[in-house]
Structure 1
Amino acid sequence: MPRTLFIVLILSLTQEATADIYKYVDSDGRTYYTDEPKNGLYKRIIKSKAIRHTNYFSNTSPRIGRYSSANKMRFAELIAQTAAKHQVDAKLVHAVIQTESAYNSGAVSPKGAVGLMQLMPATAQRFGVMDSTDPNQNVDGGTRYLKHLIAMFEPNIDLAVAAYNAGENAVIKYNNSIPPYPETQNYVRQVLALYNR
C-alpha cells in the first residue's frame, strides 16, 4: 500500500487566509500534515503568508485537501519545462515539491527555507536565485540543485534526495549513505514513495 500524504488545510473560499503547516511522522514512517495539530508530536514546518483563494474549490468542504492539487496543476507546466531544460525527471521534481511545500509558493519554514522547493538562502544564492518566492526562480534553482546532487551521487537517487534534505556534506560525512537522522530517512522514503507512485 503506497504511503499517503495527508494534507488538511482550513482555507477561506473568498477571503485571505493563513495556514501554518505542522508535520508528524508516525512509527511506520507515514507522514501527516495539518494546520491544526492535535498534540505536541506535530512540528511546525511551514509558516505561510496570506494567500488569496478564489476558484480552487467547488461546493465541497474546504477541509478537503484540494489546495495542493490545484497548485500542482497551476505549476505543472512550469515544472515540466524546467525539468526538461535541466534534464531532471519531472516526477522527481514534483515529489520533492509536494514533500517540501505541498505546492505552496509562499511557504517559509522555521529554518528559513522559502518557496516551492524550500530553498535555504545559501542554496538560493549558490544557484543564482534572487527571489525565492518567485516560482519561476525557485523551481529553476531547486531543480538545478537537484541535478547537481544527482550528478554528485550518481547512480544513487536515494542519496541525492537525502542530500537535498540534509545537505551534501551530511551524506559525504556518513560515507555516502543516508544520514542517520529520522527526519532525513523519513524524507527520503516520502519523496521516493511519491516519485515511484
Structure 2
Amino acid sequence: MKIYRTLFICLALAVACPAAADIYRYEDPDGTVHFTDAPTDRRFKIFMRDLKKDKKLRTSFKLPGYARNPAEFEPIIQSCAKEFGVDCSLVKAVIHAESGYNPNAVSPKGAQGLMQLMPKTAQGLKVADSLNPSDNIRGGVRYLRFLLDTFKGNEELALAAYNSGLNKVARYGGIPPYQETRQYVSKVLSYRNNYR
C-alpha cells in the first residue's frame, strides 16, 4: 500500500507541476518514500533537478536532454570515487554544480558532459567520449584526484583549479579573485555537505 501511495504522490507532483521546481526525495527507515519541492529536513536529497527554471544553467548549456535521476549514475560515481580515492559526495557535488546531472550538457566554451570536461583536458585524461557518463565521470574524478594531490588535499584550491584552471590558482597563490570561481567553490562545498 505504501508503494502505491508513493507512486501516486510522485505522479501527482509530476503532472501537477511539470518542471516547476526541483523535486527532493527522502526514504524513512520503514521504507516510506517522501517527495517534496520544498525540503524542510536535511535528509531530503535532490531527486529531479529543474533546469528550466535555472536561468544560469538554461543560458549556459545546450540541453539536448534534461537532467536525469542522479541515482542512475550512483554505481559509476561509487566505482570511480573508490578507484581514485575521492569523496563520493564531492564528486556528486561537482556533477551537480557543473551540469545539473545532464550528461549531454555542453557549455559555450566547449566543456562537455556531467563533469564538464574541456576537450583538451579530456584528451589528456584519455577520455574517449565526454558525453558518455562512464567515461566522463571517470575522467572527471581522475582529474579531481590530480588536483587534490597537487594542492595537498586542499579541496578549496582543487575546486578553484577545476573551475578556472591550474595556472590561475598558481598565479594568484590561492583562489583567484573571480566572483564566478569564488561562488563555484562555495556552491560545490555546500552541495557536498548536503550529499553527505
Shared fold, TM over 0.5: yes
Verify the 8 A CA contact 2:163 2:181 in the aligned structure 1.
yes
Instruction: Rate the CA distance shift 1:34–1:133 in 2: closer, same or farther, 3 A.
Output: closer
Name the SS of the counterpart of 2:149 in structure 1: helix
Question: Is 1:184 the equivalent of 2:174?
Answer: no
TM-score (norm: length of structure 1):
0.69
Provide the rounded CA distance (Å) in 2 between the counterparts of 1:192 and 1:45: 21
Cα RMSD (Å): 2.4
Task: Note the C-alpha offset of 1:71.
Answer: 2.0
Point out where structure 1 has 5 or more consecutive residues left out of the alignment. Answer: 1-7, 11-32, 52-66
CA distance change for structure 1 residues 47 and 173 in 2, over 3 Å: closer, same or farther? Answer: same
Once superposed, which parts of structure 1, at least 4 consecutive aligned residues long, lie more than 2 Å away?
A: 33-38
Q: Select which of 83, 99, 103 maps to 1:101.
A: 99
Return the offset for 1:158: 0.3
Give the one of 62, 65, 74 matched to 1:47. Answer: 62
Q: Flag the structure with higher helix content.
A: 2
User: CA 1:102–1:182 in structure 2 vs 1: closer, same or farther (change >3 Å)?
Assistant: same
Cα gap change, 1:125/1:188 in structure 2, threshold over 3 Å: closer, same or farther? same
Which is further off, 150-159 or 92-101?
150-159
TM-score with structure 2 setting the length: 0.70
Give 1:89's aligned amino acid: D
Which AA in structure 2 matches 1:128? K
Q: Where do 5+ consecutive residues of structure 2 fail to align?
A: 1-17, 21-49
In the TM superposition, residue 46 of structure 1 has moved relative to its aligned partner by 1.1
Residue 58 (structure 1) aligns with: none
- Candidates 61, 69, 72, aligned match of 2:70: 72
3-state secondary structure, aligned to 2:110? coil
Alignment size in residue pairs = 149
1:142 to 140, 143, 153: 140
Larger Rg computed on CA atoms:
2
Distance 1:74 1:37, change over 3 A: closer
